Amino acid sequence: MKALIFNGPRDIRYEDFKDPERTIDNAVIMKVKKCSICGSDLHIYHGDQIGKKNYDADQHKFCVGHEFIGEVVEIGPDVHDLKVGDQILSAGGTGCGKCTYCRTANIWKCKRATAFGLSNEMNGGQAEFVQIPNADRTLMRIPEGVGDEQAMLLTDALATASFGINNTGLLPGQSLAVVGLGPIGLLGIELAFLRGASQIFAIDPVAGRRAQAEKLGAIAFAPGDEAIGAIVEATKGGVHCVFEASGASSAVASTLPLVRTGGGLSFIGLPQPGVALPLNQILYKGITVKAGVAPVQDLWEPLIPMLQSGRLKATGLFSHHMDLADGAQAYKIFDARADNVVKIMMNVN
């Protein structure tokens, strides 16, 4: 098959790769129709370290990508909820499917939980085909009334945004700052207004992304001390909650000055190496801090009715549509934030 293969930092190539074989009884083989690049994929692309994995070191080639939708073409004997021909979306990662955590809606506590496309231990879906283990819990038929773009966002970004906003503790009538206006930050704005936010301030260095935030109803700023001062003044002491969705060291550092005493901070961006929070300030301001990896599968149930009813739009984020064969160029565009890119959908021919 053809796939996007990690050959080293800033070296992702569209090339031949071995077809996946179904090696697990609870797995399916999925024919990928469309896939997308996530901001966390750029950490691999840059050769960063994620957990214990250093992508700047020599390693086996592997297929990247954890956001993809497609069709079931083969099922294992322990798959009970799916059939060949089903049109499906996949969560960005999964667990073993057998432990207590996997059986009690806590997949990300599974000791074997991982995301697709992090290594050759579980190849990703920026490819023509991919094996999906723990298929009954990892996959979902694309619901009626949910378009391909919304389905793609359900694989990771929309669930992660929902998780992050939930973790802020935001209550109706309260104010929020969103730091980082990639797809997750922009989705967070829409979700926060649905949750009843009275006022949302949005911070990002890219003018086009600030413009999108303003279309959603937020008040947008370029990052810096001037923005922090204006927001603290407008809210008479700081926002009630901050949603940090980038992981950049400067973005993380801005969160504590933005939030008022007794407020909430939520972090979902993969942090840059060496990023730290001053614990003494958290202590003295009485700030509640939450972070973590979104339990994607467990957030589908509340999100899907919102999409089907039209209350949640989750549209307009895919600024670019390209073919998988042009994936190397897609990564360059996404990495450079060129051409007002927000998110890229790749068609798998």
Local confidence band at 297 (pLDDT 50, 70, 90 cut-offs): very high
For residue 241, the cross-strand partners are: 176, 264
**DSSP conformation class of 343:** E
**Residues 164-198: tens digit of each pLDDT:** 999 999 999 999 999 999 999 999 999 999 999 99
pLDDT in tens, 85-143: 999 999 999 988 888 888 777 787 888 889 999 988 899 999 999 999 999 999 999 99
Residue 50 has pLDDT above 80, yes or no: no
Say how far apart CA 160 and CA 246 lie, in whole Å: 12
The yes-or-no verdict on residue 301 having pLDDT over 80 is yes
What is the phi/psi pair of residue 238, to 5°? Answer: 120, 160
**Structure-model confidence comparison of residues 96 and 69, the more confident one:** 69
Q: Report the relative pairing of strands 2-6 and 288-291 from DSSP bridges.
A: unpaired
Residue 339 confidence (pLDDT): 92
Residue 193 to residue 208: CA distance in whole angstroms: 21
Report angle CA 113, 62, 37 to the nearest 5 degrees. 75
**Do 135 and 28 contact (CB within 8 A), yes or no?**
yes
**Least confident segment among 80-94, 244-258, 302-316:** 244-258
pLDDT at 121: 86
In order of their start, the domains of the chain are 2-156+295-347 (3.90.180.10), 159-291 (3.40.50.720)
Other CB atoms within 10 A of residue 261 CB:
10
Residue 324: pLDDT above 90? Answer: yes
Decide which of 100 and 331 is more confident. Answer: 331
pLDDT digits (tens, 9 = 90+) for 201-232: 999 999 999 999 999 999 999 999 999 999 99
Average pLDDT, the chain: 95
Residue 72 confidence class, pLDDT cut points 50, 70, 90:
very high
pLDDT of residue 270 exceeding 90, the answer is no
Model confidence at 349: pLDDT above 80: yes
Mean pLDDT of 71-95: 97
Distance CA 289, CA 267 (A): 8
User: CA nearest 255: which of 210, 195, 203?
Assistant: 203
Least Cα distance to 38 among 345, 326, 294 occurs for: 345
Give the whole-angstrom CA distance, residue 193 versus residue 196.
Answer: 5
